Amino acid sequence: MLISAESYYDDTRMMDIRIMGSLGLTDDDLADLLQIEGIESAYGGYTADVFCSGDEQRVVRLIAYLDQVNLPTVAEGRLPDNMQECFVDSRFLETSGYQIGDTISFKSGDETELDSILACNTFRIVGCGHLPYYMDLSRGTGTIGNGKLQGFVLVKPEAFALDYYTEIYICLVGAKLLNSYDEAYK
């Protein structure tokens, strides 16, 4: 199982380190990180925890799809081509009642206006699948609702209206040659 997981991590170009910044991360932060010895690449990304419109209990993490790192595996359909399309977690699709071709919209879980986070709020579901950092049944903890994420939704980066990154994904020099479960990788 560990060999299969390692192969999956490599095939999907899973990050080695994730930096999260609730106050925002900038292009200057990216440039500074790239000056650190051992960092091969760094990519700025956007995320936001939101409620599915009309369902106060269903919290998902919106994630900007980047084609350089953390590549999704498509189970059905395809990845988004424009900022009004989305790709959803297969588990979310199974449990939510949504189907490929449906439209989905979101709302903020706090006093933040959603249009300060997203450039558009309604998306057409064009595919479903998996992300390398959600290999188990848990989708992690969120910042709104009961704290439990029900799934992820990938959108194009331009669907976000933020002028800062919320996460930076780092790949380390030589890390793909190592087994991520060995001491040498740690």
Range of the domain at 93: 47-161
Q: What is the pLDDT of residues 123-147, one digit of tens each?
A: 999 999 999 877 666 677 788 887 7
- Looking at the fold, whether 40 and 95 belong to one and the same domain comes out as no
Render pLDDT for 67-100 as a digit per residue (tens, 0 to 9): 999 899 999 999 999 999 999 999 999 988 899 9
In 57-84, which positions are buried (b, 16+ CB within 10 angstroms) versus exposed (e)? ebbbbbbbbbeebbbbeeeebebbeebb
Domains in the chain, number: 2
108 and 147 belong to one structural domain: yes
Q: What is the pTM of this model?
A: 0.89
Amino acid found at 158:
E
Same domain, 104 and 116: yes
Task: Check whether residue 41 and residue 52 sit in a common domain.
Answer: no
